[in-house]
Amino acid sequence: MPQSPFDVTIQVGEIQRAEPFPETDKPQMVKLWIAFGDQQRQSCAQLGYNHDSADLPGQQVLCVTDLGSIQVAGFESEALTVGVPDAEGNPVLVAPTDRVPLGGKLY
């Protein structure tokens, strides 16, 4: 387990594709395909509470990219999409306020 948030690599990605993921045991899950410049990774997150999957493509997000991958209901999640809780405790994506180069690392 990392000792601080900066013991992991957090990069800017752009959501290329998003679709609802009802096969999981958690509500409001969404499958994501995210580009990080010269690479693409898959992720899934409980975003349906605050984000419509049809509106997500083209949005830049922050993701942890060096934790390895896990299987979620047969889908390989290769990045942890970063979010913060809303007033009800549901995830809201963390994103740059301006467009920035894909793959850029948080420092």
pLDDT tens profile 24-56: 988 999 999 999 999 999 999 999 999 999 999
CA dihedral 42→98→57→73, nearest 10 degrees, is 30
**Global model pTM greater than 0.75:** yes
Q: How many residues does the chain have?
A: 107
More confident: 29 or 107? 29
